[in-house]
């Protein structure tokens, strides 16, 4: 990745010049302990504590979000690889092996702040704008993985729904049903744990310009619509889990009723048999 000479923030290109920065966001499912990472990397200059913004190299910035995302600004490939190794091996990090990533072009030196269908334009790059753009992109990449996990969980229910629709009963074993319910509950817990971290940056409450930029980025990444869709699917999980558990309980009740009937029948047979023997 080509580097653009950035002396520091705020960054304003030379008059009449527009600089294109490629911003890369990488997401690992899990949690990052920002305080522990900061304590173990005191050699990195810190520009912000939450999200953690560091400047590992002059004019290169990395933004670490507690929900498992790392966003690189103007970082060479070797530096990105090194930072990712340190993040995944950091003390207190509870991250999965799988990762998703996305890239975004940011043009600095535009006449006004704009968000189009494929890039973001800024008059100047400030720390606040860097944080807002990074968080929006980090949330979008995190949602990519969440959406995929939710789709997998929904697919687990497909055989159950088809069976109930076509046959009107549940043929799956109790273990198979509980595995489907458990998988969906695990996804639901992970989603809820992450979605609670998707709050608006506090900077947006202090600046109308930053609030407008944040709203434009929400629209750019479709964050509100995607979050709404995920929440609806979470409600479906709750309803489906309750339905399946009710069906299992009903199956157990029917089984117990049959056991009681069979025991009574056996008791009656033995009683009649003993009565016949006693009369002989």
Omega before residue 10 within 30° of 0, cis = yes
**Could you tell me if 221 and 172 lie in one domain?**
yes
- Among residues of the chain, what percentage have pLDDT more than 70? 95
What is the CATH classification number for the domain harbouring 25?
A: 3.30.310
Per-residue pLDDT at 197: 60
In our burial notation (b when 16+ CB lie closer than 10 A, e otherwise), range 144-171 reads bbbeebbeebbebbeebeeebeeeeebe
Is the pLDDT confidence value at 265 over 90? no
From the list 199, 88, 102, the residue with the least C-alpha distance to 144 is: 102
Is the pLDDT confidence value at 123 over 90? yes
**Could you tell me if 252 and 208 lie in one domain?**
yes
pLDDT digits (tens, 9 = 90+) for 9-30: 999 998 889 999 999 999 988 8
Confidence band (pLDDT; 50, 70, 90) for 5?
confident
How far is 35 from 50, CA to CA, in rounded Å? 9
Domain that holds residue 247: 141-276
**Could you tell me if 272 and 147 lie in one domain?**
yes
Look at residue 134 and tell me if it is in a domain: no
Per the CB < 8 A criterion, the answer to whether 33 and 40 are in contact is: no
**Could you tell me if 157 and 248 lie in one domain?**
yes
In our burial notation (b when 16+ CB lie closer than 10 A, e otherwise), range 253-263 reads eeeeeeeeeee
Look at residue 203 and tell me if it is in a domain: yes
**Could you tell me if 26 and 109 lie in one domain?**
yes
Look at residue 270 and tell me if it is in a domain: yes
Average confidence score pLDDT of the chain: 86
**Could you tell me if 72 and 147 lie in one domain?**
no
pLDDT digits (tens, 9 = 90+) for 53-94: 999 999 999 999 988 899 999 999 999 999 999 999 988 888
**Could you tell me if 172 and 210 lie in one domain?**
yes
**Could you tell me if 195 and 78 lie in one domain?**
no
Look at residue 5 and tell me if it is in a domain: no
- The pTM score is 0.81
Look at residue 170 and tell me if it is in a domain: yes
How far is 220 from 207, CA to CA, in rounded Å? 20
Look at residue 131 and tell me if it is in a domain: no
pLDDT digits (tens, 9 = 90+) for 131-168: 999 999 999 998 898 888 888 878 877 887 888 888 87
Is the pLDDT confidence value at 122 over 70? yes
How far is 66 from 62, CA to CA, in rounded Å? 13
């Amino acid at each position: 990745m080509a580097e653009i000479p950035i002396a520091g923030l705020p960054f304003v290109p030379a008059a009449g010049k527009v600089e294109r920065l490629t911003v890369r966001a990488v997401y690992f499912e899990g949690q990052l302990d920002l305080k522990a990472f900061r304590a173990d990397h005191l050699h990195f200059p810190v520009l912000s504590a939450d999200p953690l913004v560091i400047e590992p190299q002059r004019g290169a910035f990395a933004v670490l979000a507690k929900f498992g995302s790392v966003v690189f600004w103007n970082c060479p490939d070797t530096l990105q690889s090194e930072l990712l190794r340190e993040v995944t091996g950091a003390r207190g990090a509870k991250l999965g092996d799988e990762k998703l990533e996305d890239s975004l072009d940011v043009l600095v030196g535009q006449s006004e702040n704009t968000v189009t269908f494929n890039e973001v334009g800024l008059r100047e790059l400030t720390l606040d704008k860097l944080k807002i753009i990074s968080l929006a992109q980090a949330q979008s990449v995190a949602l990519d993985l969440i959406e995929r996990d939710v789709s997998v969980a929904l697919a687990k229910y497909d055989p159950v729904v088809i069976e109930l629709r076509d046959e009107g009963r549940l043929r799956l074993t109790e273990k198979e049903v509980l595995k489907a319910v458990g998988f969906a509950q695990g996804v639901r817990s992970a989603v809820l744990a992450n979605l609670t971290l998707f709050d608006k940056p506090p900077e947006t409450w202090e600046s109308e310009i930053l609030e407008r930029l944040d709203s434009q980025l929400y629209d750019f990444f479709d964050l509100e619509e995607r979050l709404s869709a995920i929440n609806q699917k979470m409600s479906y999980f709750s309803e489906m889990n309750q339905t399946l558990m009710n069906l299992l309980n009903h199956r157990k009740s029917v089984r117990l009723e049959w056991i009681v009937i069979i025991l009574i029948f056996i008791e009656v047979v033995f009683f009649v048999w003993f009565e016949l023997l006693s009369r002989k």
